[in-house]
Amino acid sequence: AQKVTQAQTEISVVEKEDVTLDCVYETRDTTYYLFWYKQPPSGELVFLIRRNSFDEQNEISGRYSWNFQKSTSSFNFTITASQVVDSAVYFCALSESGTYKYIFGTGTRLKVLA
């Protein structure tokens, strides 16, 4: 069975702090894809990154970085030097190869205080 767990319901940080959002997944498939999305107050989910199960390289994009570890079934997201505009709900999602279904975690609400 597929499952995505985001244990952190809400995180509050002060601007310029670094923050890590955790994502743990379960799947029996060997080929799968992991995603992170940002949902600002406006409601639309914005795609941030896609990672396939064969690529364990960490990725950095500006202030964002992602740490994928198959050994612990985790795909964590770090924001460096957080800004108020980073305040949003962040979702991690899993999709097994060959399927059209995407399984979402329950999301982590990030509040960045000025």
What is the contact surface with other proteins in residues (CB under 8 A)?
Answer: 6, 9, 32-33, 35, 37, 42-47, 50, 52, 91, 95-102, 104-107
- Residue closer to other proteins by CB (options 17, 56) is 56
The residues, any chain, with a CB within 8 Å of residue 96's CB and separated by 6 or more, are 2, 27, 29, 31, 32, 33
CB burial readout 60-72, b (16+ within 10 A) else e: eeeebbbbbeeee
Min. distance of Cβ 48 from other proteins in angstroms?
9
Q: Tell the residue number behind the tokens 């030097």, with chain if given.
A: 81
* Residue 106, phi then psi, degrees to nearest 5: -80, -5
Instruction: Give the residue with the Cβ less far from other proteins, 77 or 91.
Output: 91
Nearest distance from C-beta of residue 43 to other proteins, angstroms: 4
Q: How far is the CB of 2 from other proteins (least distance, A)?
A: 11
Question: Of the two residues 9 and 57, which places its CB atom closer to other proteins in the complex?
Answer: 9
Question: Whose Cβ is closer to other proteins: residue 74's or residue 109's?
Answer: 109
